[in-house]
Structure 1
């Protein structure tokens, strides 16, 4: 099993409806490919962790790279994964403006709930916590 972490910038600020659309489509696609992970959005930036079989992760990542809603995509880290950090989330999601999306299973309030962690020092968790903290998601 593999993981991949990337960051990108939104081409323009995303509305709750646009974020909800991303979340809905991602969950459907990820369920088919058995991909789990977490997507954070804040202040016009995304960070996402994908987890799953190597071919499936790469296929999903290629489709993400082709998405015109974001730019300046940077692959932060990737590698082998022994145990999923997000085993029950086809796509966990967090945004600063969470009134609409908080009703969905897998939504997480990183300030209140934290992250599920099999390995507190895993790069995926470090990147997500850092992004959440610097994007005011933890305030």
Structure 2
């Protein structure tokens, strides 16, 4: 099983209806493809972790790359896992901001120059799991 985490910039600031549409579509597609994960949105930035079988994950990520609701997609990390980090979440969701995320030791501000090469970069999943465990999210 594989996972990946990406960050992207929204094409425009999204309202609640647009976010709800993304969430509903993502949950439906993830159910069909046996993917799990979490999506954070705040201040015009998406951070998403997806996990599942390699082919389904690659297909979904390719679809995400073509989605015109965002741009500047950067894959932060990817790898192999033996068990899911978010097994019960077809798509956990939280609208958040940098102040919320900065409370975690493993948070890396994406505005920091060279953040992808940062020494904490292997802790991206840890940061997302900690955030999920400490915040009420829609799942």
TM-score band by shorter chain is 0.7 to 0.9
TM-score calculated relative to the size of structure 2: 0.73
| Distance in 1 between residues matched to 2:70 and 2:15, nearest whole Å | 14
Native 8 Å contact 2:35 2:50 kept in 1: yes
Q: Structure 1: 5+ residue runs without aligned partners?
A: 98-109, 111-120
Structure 2 stretches lacking a partner, 5+ long: 102-121
Corresponding position of 1:56:
56
TM-score normalized by the length of structure 1: 0.73
The runs of 4+ residues in structure 1 deviating greater than 6 Å are: none
How far apart are 1:129 and its partner, in Å? Answer: 6.7
- In structure 2, what is the equivalent of residue 34 of structure 1? 34
- Relative to its length, the structure with more helix (as a share) is 2
Give the match for residue 3 of structure 2: 3
Query: Which residue matches 1:79?
Result: 79
Aligned mates of 1:61, 1:25 — CA distance in 2: 14
Aligned to 1:101: none
Aligned length: 110
2:72 alignment partner, SS class: strand
